[in-house]
Structure 1
Amino acid sequence: MTASSSVPKSLEELQAAIAAIESPAPEPELPPLSDEGSKATKAALRLLKFRARSRHELHGRLVEKEFSEAAVAEAMERIDAWQLLDDADFARQWVEQRSVGKGATRTLLRRELEAKGVESAQISQALEDVSDEDERARAHELVAHRIERRENSDLSTMEQRTKVKRRLVEFLQRRGYSSGVALSVVNNEIANARQFL
């Protein structure tokens, strides 16, 4: 069975495309794979069942599994023929999941996508919809949620506020926020929390 002409956009669509590819229907238009190439292709399909990946990332994972470069090349050609990889779509999905789900900033997302081998233009396009205001609002949500979870924390003493502030600033910095933004957001949210004590 051949892949559809459109590239899968979601994990469910990707899994459905893989299932269709794995069906026993013959594929006369594609050349046969070597034994190792077939194993590398199956390994690539297993990796893609869990989540979308960039070309660079998938290639690297196959190399890590100690397939020969020829087998990896065969597998990548077959995956390309089935149109299962789209770095631009992967970048959009990554940005959406990590910015909303984890509160990652554009700076951190750019670094992560560069490490996954996504081209700079595709990264920039994926990051277009994330604004400074969105990032700052997400930082406020993350900190407010953390403070709410620590409902038994005593923020009345300077020592306790300093300790909580340091931890929250570090928390935001790990997500790519600058120390200035992190400190401003944390100070604001601690002041808000103290109003309700």
Structure 2
Amino acid sequence: MSVQGPDPHEGGRRITSERLRTAVAAVEARSSGSSDLPPLAPEAHDAATAALRLLRHRPRSEHELRERLLGKDHTPDAVDEALGRVRVWGLLDDADFASEWVRGRRRRRGRSRGALERELREKGVAEVHIAGAVSDIDESDEHEHATELVRARLARRTAASRRDADLQGERRRLVAFLGRRGYPTGLAMTVVDAELAAQVSP
């Protein structure tokens, strides 16, 4: 397998997991003679090959990918050269990574803005990219999202369990549920109280 292929990134299209897998496959399928890029040093070639294997599974931040490669005993110089080539191929962009992370984690896990910011910091994403990724999430969005989560949770309960529910216990569980997704306690209590009141209203 050669990793000397040209940039497979389609201009202006965000690298999602599916597009990333397609782009990685395109790079791996290229013959070395088809590239106008200089060959990588042998150690960097090995590191770039390992990077492509990691990127087949999901997008990663540059910091995350660097740490994984260093953990596989690739030298820092080889990792630097490999990551430079991966960027040229369009497979490594922290701004795109942050945007995709926010969209996916918010949709599938219901994460709050604060929780998403913390997760991205843990992955070594720069503050400027984090700010851009969460810029569309304001206080009203947080309230609406938390309300949807609580309503979905309550909707799974049977009519009998709603009648027999210990409201204080239910309140604690729902507030904790939102707290695990990063929502502030004050917001969580406001949303939960409103939705529980709606449940018991005639």
Q: Is TM (by shorter chain) over 0.5?
A: yes
Deviations 1:68-97 (A, max 9, x none): 323322321221221211111111111111
Letter of the 1:181 partner, please give it: L
Alignment of 1:113-192 (within 5 A): 113-151=120-158, 154-156=161-163, 160-192=166-198
- Determine the structure 2 residue equivalent to 1:61: 68
TM-score by length of 2: 0.86
Q: Deviations over 1:123-147 (max 9, x none)?
A: 1111111121111111111111111
For 1:121 and 1:130, the matched residues in 2 are separated by 15
1:110 equivalent to 2:121? Answer: no
Q: Which runs of 5+ in 1 are unaligned?
A: none
What percent identity do the matched residue pairs reach?
A: 40
Task: Compute the displacement of 1:154 (Å).
Answer: 3.4
User: Could you tell me how far 1:112 is from its partner in structure 2?
Assistant: 0.9
Q: Which runs of 5+ in 2 are unaligned?
A: none
- Check whether the contact 2:120–2:130 (CA below 8 A) recurs between aligned residues: yes
2:28 is the alignment partner of 1:22: yes
Looking at structure 1, the residues matched to 115 and 79 of structure 2 have their Cα atoms a distance apart, in angstroms, of 30
C-alpha distance in 2, partners of 1:43/1:153?
Answer: 55
Residue 95 (structure 1) aligned with residue 99 (structure 2): no
Give the 3-state SS of the residue equivalent to 1:150 in structure 2: coil
For the structure 1 residues 153 and 48, does the alpha-carbon distance in structure 2 shift closer, same or farther, using more than 3 Å as the test? farther
User: 1:97-150 CA deviation, whole Å, 9 max, x = no partner?
Assistant: 122322211111111111111111111111111121111111111111111112
Give the Cα–Cα distance (whole angstroms) in 2 for the partners of residues 79 and 7 of structure 1. 17
Provide the residue aligned with 2:55 in structure 1.
48
